[in-house]
Amino acid sequence: MLSIEQVSVSSKNKKIVDSVSLSLHKGDWYALVGQSGSGKTLLSQAIGQMLPPNLQANGKILFHDIDLLTAPPKQMRTLRGQKISYIFQDYQGSFTPFRTIGQHFEEYQKVHGISDSKARKSNAFHALESVGLDTSLYRRYPFQLSGGQLQRVSIAMALLLSPDLIIADEITTALDSVSGHKILELLSLKQKETGFAILFITHDWRHVKRNANRLAVMKDGKIIESGEKDHILHDPKHEYTKQLIKAAPTLDAMQRMYRR
């Protein structure tokens, strides 16, 4: 589905992401793991042609044989949302404070060519219900929702047009542990229902252990280790990976916390 081939991201004077290669298949939950500043988010932005103007990406990013680094802007606008959706860490910043949740759904669907107003409202209601939210939220403003509810709305919008790939960038960082766990359970449930792939960007090994099937460890802009999750967890090769795994809470400790 997605093949990233020797992709680098550079500013005028510095290479920030250095010759990264990885691939995602249908149904993958692929975790890209590393500490802040390792280049994870910049790589995800390169996939959607959303890098800051002072940065340049080179290499190939093939999505269903379309090179996303060279695709024209009109094609990318269609792909983003319809085939590739993002869920961001700053979910609150994704919403305009004085527009209702319904107005956000309206605008999102209009941009992607859904002209029937009744269909747009029906789609929004179905999307809200699919993530466990009451349709009464359609008429509310973002500041009237809790953090967990807003993140669920973000997921509903990301899934609205049935994309093949979800890029989830540190989506639990701003939530408490229990809310974050519930959000990832919801995302896992929706993935099992529809089979989309997830590129899950995180620094939190607890969520990697619980959800991913494959992973790559990123440090200083490079992939230092990648493969099946269970293989890396039980037999890490790189010292940095060993340190990250050792520092992460155990699954038993996580389960005890979530049962409280």
Rounded-to-integer distance, Cα 40 and Cα 72, Å: 24
- Tokens 């249908």 -> residue: 26
CB 38 within 8 A of CB 221: yes
Supply 169's token pair: 């960038």
pTM (global) more than 0.85: yes
228 - beta bridge partners?
214
Mean pLDDT by 10 residues, the chain (260 residues): 96 94 96 91 95 96 95 92 89 86 95 92 94 94 92 91 94 83 90 94 89 95 95 93 80 48
pLDDT score recorded for residue 75: 93
Sheet of 29-33: strands edge to edge?
84-87, 165-169, 197-202, 29-33, 214-219, 222-228
State residue 64's pLDDT score: 92
**Alpha helix stretches (DSSP H) within the chain:** 40-47, 73-82, 101-111, 117-130, 147-159, 177-194, 205-211, 229-234, 239-247, 251-259
**pLDDT at position 250:** 55
Complete domains list, the chain, with CATH? 1-83+201-260 (3.40.50.300)
Residue 192: which residues within 8 A CB-CB, separation 6 or more?
Answer: none
